[in-house]
Amino acid sequence: MQKQLHPNISVDCVIFGFDFEKLNVLLVERTYLHPETKEVIFSDYTLAGNHVYVDENLVDAAKRVLNNLTGLDNIYLEQFYAPEDPGRLLKKNDQLWLKKEGKNPEERVVSVCYFSLLNCKEVSIQKKDRNVDWHPISEIRNLGFDHDIILAQALKSLQVKLQNEPIGYEMLPLKFTLSQLQKLYEVVFDMEFDKRNFRKKVSKMKYLIQLDEKQKGVSHKPARYYIFSRDVYEKTKSDILNFSV
Amino acid sequence: MQKQLHPNISVDCVIFGFDFEKLNVLLVERTYLHPETKEVIFSDYTLAGNHVYVDENLVDAAKRVLNNLTGLDNIYLEQFYAPEDPGRLLKKNDQLWLKKEGKNPEERVVSVCYFSLLNCKEVSIQKKDRNVDWHPISEIRNLGFDHDIILAQALKSLQVKLQNEPIGYEMLPLKFTLSQLQKLYEVVFDMEFDKRNFRKKVSKMKYLIQLDEKQKGVSHKPARYYIFSRDVYEKTKSDILNFSV
DNA sequence: AAAAAAAAGTGTACATGGTACACTTTTTTT
DNA sequence: AAAAAAAGTGTACCATGTACACTTTTTTTT
């Protein structure tokens, strides 16, 4: 891998995190100070992203961005979109920011976007010099660049994917309870589900394996733990069709 | 739109066409002759694609490529993938070809890929100087560049999309029969369906509207024609969830 | 020690949707 | 008039989705 960033190619990462209560997205604060007076000209948030090295695989670049913020490797990543508009970086604030960052603000940048899935509780965010933190998805608006559009696409793609594959486990700890799993589906789809029906449904998933172990330290009846078996999943998944619309 | 192609950004189009019998893809023949002896060094096929103009929207570039080959506007287009490998154009034949085309073969090119849907019978292919034609998807292999990978992704994306939205109509004439619609689903999913069950299923789709008109000039009982009503579809589509895996 | 609080865990009846399956009808061709 | 070709049609069974409320287990509080 050659150590030079390509001026026209970037990746952006929509990093979803579940904290057992809400669906969150990892955002980077962007505060632009007046070059002389140092007063705040604007301050907002963006997704995590970076240009790719000239000889770097796109998904490797996304992994690098993710590793930079979380210190983690082997995180679930899914390519979902590339913004189409050549004017995607031309808003006034974005231009100021790009200049400050030493970029040529006129340069067209095609960004290939990935979403990744994490359990908030198991990540320690590597802040370094930047202010990086989880934000509940319901409260996110007015992101920098075209990142509102990218985030909206990411959520749709996550929903489609979660309808078709059991990727929710990527956002849960190794051992989790059925209530936690249900809450995860509820926050991703922004819907509530009936507890008995949800359990009936997941009880058919053979790759969901009940442990003898129970929760500890909770001030109510402790729940049974479950684990996800990738092995069982890979062996039992069958390509069922239902062109439902 | 500035009339200069960006050296690092391209679009590729997987143009699917249905001919009432098979699923086809529009391919461009690529024959490389020895610069002096004019003997054929290699000859194969590629998807349709082109670099984008420096100030051109990606989807507009895909529309342009499509219009170039078919003369058509307002064709269904869906972005589905961007190849990730920086070495995607480095195979020997591809390098020869790029040089011949006046491109810098060392230059990294990120391609954003679209699939589009057509009815073969309603398209007259604009061959110009190139040999462009429909190829049954089952017979396609060893495409140039990384186009085998792109095509495989396109087919998966088409299947997912067709399971969730009634985009099959994009590959049929305005008026079509239920047998034609069934055949379309069969070739896309490479499965056979039961006629009665298929009809029971589509009879629930209110945007499928039966006409009084019947087929003419067929040597058997003529079938009723149906049309797709986008209006009815848009009004009745409800976001039903089934996280089925 | 008893009561309250909190969430876990459980079953049934009904409606809807999927699946397996074969013959009659209508039209053209011979 | 008969044959060929594809259109068109219904039922029984099984699986899945949905609506719905109480008991159990544990901790916390009094």
Preferred mutation among A84, A111, A200 to probe B, highest tally of B CBs within 10 A = A84
pLDDT in tens, B10-62: 999 999 999 999 999 999 999 999 999 999 999 999 999 999 999 999 999 99
Q: Which CATH architecture has domain B174-236?
A: Orthogonal Bundle (1.10)
A222 CA, D22 C1': Å apart: 19
- pLDDT at residue B238, rounded to an integer: 44
Nearest CA to B210 out of B223, B221, B220 is that of: B223
Sign of the four-CA dihedral A97, A101, A102, A105? negative
Q: Looking at chain A, which residue has its C-alpha nearest residue B165? A: A245
What stretches of A83-146 show up as alpha helix (H) in DSSP? 92-100
- pLDDT at residue B82, rounded to an integer: 98
Closest residue, by C-alpha, to the C1' of D18:
A197
* Domain range summary for chain A, segments of one domain joined by +: 5-164, 174-236
Question: Could you give the 3-state DSSP secondary structure of residue A64?
Answer: helix
Mark yes or no for CB contact A164/B244 under 8 Å.
yes
A160 CA, C15 C1': Å apart: 26
Nucleotides of C under 7 A from a protein CB: 5-12, 17-22, 25-29
Nearest CA to A110 out of B56, B72, B195 is that of: B56
At A210, the amino acid letter reads Q
Mark yes or no for CB contact B164/A162 under 8 Å.
no
- Does the domain formed by B5-164 have CATH 3.40.50.620? no
Helical (H) or strand (E) element with A32: strand A23-33
Nearest CA to A66 out of A137, A20, A16, A32 is that of: A16
pLDDT, tens digit only, all 245 positions of chain B: 558 999 999 999 999 999 999 999 999 999 999 999 999 999 999 999 999 999 999 999 999 999 999 999 999 999 999 999 999 999 999 999 999 999 999 999 999 999 999 999 999 998 888 899 999 999 999 999 999 999 999 999 999 999 999 999 999 999 999 999 999 999 999 999 999 999 999 999 999 999 999 999 899 999 999 999 999 998 877 444 455 55
Tokens for B98, please give them.
Answer: 């790029």
Nucleotides of D under 7 A from a protein CB: 4-11, 16-21, 24-28
Please tell me whether any atom of strand D lies within 7 Å of the Cβ of B179: yes
At B50, the amino acid letter reads N
Please tell me whether any atom of strand D lies within 7 Å of the Cβ of A34: no
In contact, B59 and B20? CB cutoff 8 Å = no
Q: Looking at chain A, which residue has its C-alpha nearest residue B6? A: A108
Phi-psi region of B146 (alpha: psi -120 to 50; beta: other; left: phi over 0): alpha
